[in-house]
């Protein structure tokens, strides 16, 4: 087990927690109580765990740190109620997460890394590079923190790993996060309601195909060919589009789960009619849906979104070429909704 996992009690599975408790010379059955407090009842501190003996609680308080990441900034959209928060981790790193309210329930978008090293031209998360990977427990804390704010009986129903960071570069911890969130003794969130998004790290996609968990996969494509893609996504130079699409084909063959293609429309770069046609040709035969996102402008990058008609036209052309496409509702525009924008702002201040 790595140091980060032993340091972070929320990252442990029930079996690992049991071993940890027994190491302390305490009865293993306490693990189930503690796991439930951590993952079902969203406890922040040992003192809350009222069904543990007082002596054990005192011991845990002094011997086992239960790190909570305080919220250092919170912004709520006046338009749609989307909430974005900035957490400060124990080592001073700042990460951001978003809570969105949809008709079907509450969805949380979490970060998987502090910063990012992928270098996408339109993304604010990558502007200061990668600081470090997050642990599974730190990813869970983002979900649980929002859940504590909801009214009695309301729960987070969907989780997307689409905040800062490249989840496939932190593969093991992201998978651990998914499994913990689905644990029957914990939150019991359905794996089918979890989504991981990647900029196209092929080995990660191939591992996920074999992982045997029914989570959803989104691919950040953002271009119809390598020429455009490599201008805005450096990762395209390492993993060419044809190989990426092969991995996606295999993913569907192995899992039977349809993919989401994310496509951020950027004016004069990837938003022409011929781009829509080429995109439809390239992904034909791979079961999936294109999610069109008018790029959220990031002032440092000088990139702009197409106008509303341009977005609709792009969608129409995809449809005419047999490709299903939806336009992402933009939530939280007034609260620095795009990846890494809030963190960036605070760091600049
Ligand atoms: N690294 C992963 C997940 C994090 S980004 C990935 O690349 O998929 C989540 C999504 O937001 C990605 O599709 C990313 O390309 C997109 N994104 C980042 N900045 C954006 C912006 N300014 N406008 C619109 N989408 C953006």
> Does residue 110 surpass a pLDDT of 50?
yes
Q: For residue 219, how far is its CA from the centre of ligand 1 (angstroms)?
A: 10
Question: What is the residue with the minimal CA distance to atom 12 of ligand 1?
Answer: 220
The torsion region of residue 161 among left (phi > 0), alpha (psi -120 to 50) and beta comes to beta
Q: For position 338, what pLDDT does the model report?
A: 56
pLDDT tens sequence across 125-162? 998 999 999 999 999 999 999 999 998 889 999 999 99
**Angle (deg, nearest 10), helices 202-211 and 171-182:** 30
Tell me what the mean pLDDT of segment 90-94 comes to: 95
Beta-bridged to residue 130, according to DSSP, are 115
Q: For position 162, what pLDDT does the model report?
A: 95
**% pLDDT > 70, the chain:** 92
CB neighbour list of residue 242: distance below 8 Å, 6 or more residues apart = none
Q: For position 273, what pLDDT does the model report?
A: 97
Tell me what the mean pLDDT of segment 240-244 comes to: 98
In the set 26, 96, 166, 169, the catalytic residue is 96
CA geometry: angle 56, 59, 64, nearest 5 deg? 115
pLDDT tens sequence across 310-346? 999 999 999 999 999 999 876 666 666 555 566 666 5
Side-chain-facing half-sphere of 194: CA atoms under 13 Å: 24
- All domains in the chain, ordered by first residue: 3-63 (1.10.150.530), 77-348 (3.20.20.70)
Quote the CA–CA distance of 330 and 336 in Å, as a whole number: 11
CA geometry: angle 68, 74, 78, nearest 5 deg? 150
Strands 83-88 and 94-102: antiparallel
Quote the CA–CA distance of 314 and 292 in Å, as a whole number: 9
Q: For position 346, what pLDDT does the model report?
A: 58
Quote the CA–CA distance of 340 and 246 in Å, as a whole number: 30
User: By mean pLDDT, which of 16-25, 60-69, 88-97, 271-280 is the weakest?
Assistant: 60-69
Q: For residue 49, how far is its CA from the centre of ligand 1 (angstroms)?
A: 38
Q: For position 1, what pLDDT does the model report?
A: 40
Structure tokens at 339: 């990846």
Asked if 337 contacts 84 with a C-beta cutoff of 8 angstroms, the reply is: yes
In the set 116, 123, 248, 339, the catalytic residue is 339
Q: For residue 302, how far is its CA from the centre of ligand 1 (angstroms)?
A: 16
- Residue 149 annotated in active site: no
Quote the CA–CA distance of 51 and 34 in Å, as a whole number: 9
**Quick one: which of 241, 253, 313 has its CA closest to 281?**
241
Cα-trace Rg, the chain: 21
Is the Cα torsion angle 9, 10, 15, 17 positive or negative in sign? positive
**Quick one: which of 37, 109, 148 has its CA closest to 296?**
109
Quote the CA–CA distance of 182 and 180 in Å, as a whole number: 5
Question: What is the residue with the minimal CA distance to atom 14 of ligand 1?
Answer: 220
**Ligand 1 binding pocket, CB closer than 6 Å:** 118, 120, 122-123, 162, 166, 197-199, 220, 262, 264, 293, 295-296, 298, 338-339
Q: What is the dihedral of CA 22, 24, 29, 31, to 10 degrees?
A: -100
**Quick one: which of 245, 289, 227, 242 has its CA closest to 263?**
289
Predicted confidence band of residue 349 (pLDDT cuts 50, 70, 90): low
Atom of ligand 1 nearest to the CA of 164: 4
**Quick one: which of 124, 125, 100 has its CA closest to 112?**
125
Atom of ligand 1 nearest to the CA of 293: 24
pLDDT tens sequence across 194-236? 999 999 999 999 999 999 999 999 999 999 999 999 999 999 9
pLDDT tens sequence across 165-185? 999 999 999 999 999 999 999
Quote the CA–CA distance of 262 and 273 in Å, as a whole number: 17
Asked if 147 contacts 155 with a C-beta cutoff of 8 angstroms, the reply is: yes
Q: For position 3, what pLDDT does the model report?
A: 45
Q: For position 81, what pLDDT does the model report?
A: 82
Side-chain-facing half-sphere of 145: CA atoms under 13 Å: 27
């Amino acid at each position: 087990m790595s140091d980060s996992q032993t340091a972070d009690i929320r990252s442990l599975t029930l079996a690992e927690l049991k071993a940890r408790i027994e190491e302390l010379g305490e009865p293993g059955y306490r693990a189930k109580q503690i796991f439930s407090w951590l993952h079902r009842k969203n406890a922040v501190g040992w003192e809350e765990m009222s069904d543990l003996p007082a002596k054990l609680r005192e011991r845990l308080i002094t011997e086992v740190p239960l790190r909570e990441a305080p919220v250092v900034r919170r912004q709520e959209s006046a338009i749609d109620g989307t909430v974005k928060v900035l957490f400060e981790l124990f080592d001073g790193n700042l990460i951001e997460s978003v809570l969105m309210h949809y008709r079907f329930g509450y969805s949380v978008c979490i970060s998987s890394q502090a910063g990012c090293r992928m270098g996408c031209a339109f993304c604010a998360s990558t502007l200061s590079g990668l600081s470090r990977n997050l642990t599974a427990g730190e990813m869970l804390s983002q979900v649980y923190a929002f859940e504590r704010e909801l009214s009695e009986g309301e729960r987070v129903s969907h989780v997307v790993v689409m905040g800062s960071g490249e989840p496939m570069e932190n593969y093991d911890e992201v998978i651990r996060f998914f499994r913990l969130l689905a644990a029957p003794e914990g939150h019991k969130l359905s794996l089918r309601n979890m989504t991981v998004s990647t900029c196209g790290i092929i080995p990660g996609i191939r591992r996920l195909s074999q992982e045997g968990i029914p989570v959803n996969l989104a691919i950040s494509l953002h271009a119809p060919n390598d020429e455009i893609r490599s201008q805005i996504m450096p990762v395209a130079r390492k993993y060419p589009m044809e190989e990426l699409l092969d991995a996606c084909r295999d993913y569907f063959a192995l899992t039977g789960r349809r993919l989401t293609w994310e496509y951020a429309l950027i004016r004069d770069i990837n938003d022409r009619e011929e781009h829509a046609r080429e995109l439809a040709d390239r992904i034909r035969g791979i079961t999936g849906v294109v999610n069109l996102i008018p790029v959220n402008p990031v002032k440092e990058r000088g990139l702009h979104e197409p106008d509303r008609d341009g977005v609709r036209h792009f969608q129409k052309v995809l449809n005419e070429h047999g490709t299903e496409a939806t336009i992402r509702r933009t939530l939280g525009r007034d609260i620095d909704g795009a990846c890494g924008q809030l963190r960036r702002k605070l760091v600049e201040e």
